[in-house]
Amino acid sequence: MIGRMYGFGIEAQAQTTAKTLMELASAADGVTLLERANIGQSSFDTSENLSARIQRITTTGTGTTSTSGVAPFQVGDAAFGGVLETNSTIEPSYTASTVLVSQGFNCLSGWLWTPANDDEVVVISPSALVGIKLNTTATSMTFDYGMTCREIGG
């Protein structure tokens, strides 16, 4: 397969509100394919239903920029050309009618999104943005979350 694979993961981050956990911006000269996303928690032992959403973003929010936290799967590959922000303190503006994935999950088992086939991979055009959001207010929990993406160009 073409392109370079990258992984990103955050561990042990407390969350109590519905918010954007990860905002991914493709490089201006490349395309990014979102191939996997996950949300789990490690501090709560009671069942609670939550929901996750993947949606296109019109205007970026404010979060922690984490370009160094996007690690190449192959040693020696170039650094990720796009930008990843985590833990939004100011929510991005989501593009209307562009919810790509919306799924409920139980916090005890976590959420894992993988496309059923190549046609369901989320394609992020040059300079475009996609957000992965914890779409429900949760009881105070310590979350782990991440993604796998492929960069073509960049």
pLDDT of residue 106: 92
How confident is the model over 122-129, as a mean pLDDT?
A: 96
Question: Under a CB-based contact definition with an 8 Å cutoff, are residues 44 and 141 in contact?
Answer: yes
- 134, exposed or middle or buried, with CB in 10 Å at 0-12, 13-18, 19+? buried
CATH of 4-153, one of 1.10.357, 1.10.10, 2.60.120, 3.40.50: 2.60.120
Q: What value does the mean pLDDT of the chain take?
A: 90
118 vs 139, more confident: 118
The tokens for 108 are 């005890």
Q: How far is CA 124 from the centre of its chain?
A: 12
> Could you tell me which of 13, 36, 19, 26 has the C-alpha nearest to residue 146?
36
pLDDT of residue 115: 93
Question: Under a CB-based contact definition with an 8 Å cutoff, are residues 23 and 92 in contact?
Answer: yes
pTM of the model: 0.90
pLDDT of residue 30: 93
Domain boundaries in the chain? 4-153
For 27-42, write each residue's pLDDT tens digit.
999 999 999 999 998 8
Give the length of the chain: 154
pLDDT of residue 46: 85
